[in-house]
A and B are shown apart, each in its own frame.
Chain A
Amino acid sequence: MKNTPIQLHVVTRIVAFIILIFSIFLFFAGHNNPGGGFIGGLMTASALVLLYLSFDLKTIKRVLPFDYAYVIGAGLLLATLTGVAGMFFGFPYLTQFFEYFQLPILGETELTTALPFDLGIYLVVVGFTLLVILTVAEDDS
Chain B
Amino acid sequence: MLSTVAAISLFLMAGSIVICTVRALIGPSAPDRIVALDTIGIILIGFIAILMIVQDTIAYAEVALVIAILAFIGSVAIAKFVEGGIVLDRDRH
Is the C-beta of B53 less than 8 angstroms from some C-beta in chain A?
Answer: no
Known: A22-B65, A34-B62. A138 touches B90 (CB 8 A): yes
Interface of B is mostly: helix
Kindly list chain A residues whose C-beta atoms are within 8 Å of the C-beta of B91: 56-58
- Give every chain A residue within 8 A of B88 (Cβ-Cβ): 52-53, 56-57, 133-134, 137
**Residues of chain B from 68 to 93 with CB closer than 8 A to chain A in the complex:** 69-70, 72-73, 76-77, 80, 87-93
Number of interface residues of A (CB under 8 A): 29
Asked whether, in the complex, the Cβ of A49 is within 8 Å of the Cβ of B73, the reply is yes
The answer on a CB contact under 8 Å between A43 and B69 is: yes
Known: A35-B62, A137-B87. Is A50-B92 also a contact (CB below 8 A)?
A: no
Chain A residues in the interface with B (C-beta under 8 A): 1-2, 4-5, 8, 15, 19, 22, 26, 29, 34-35, 39, 43, 46, 49-50, 52-59, 133-134, 137-138
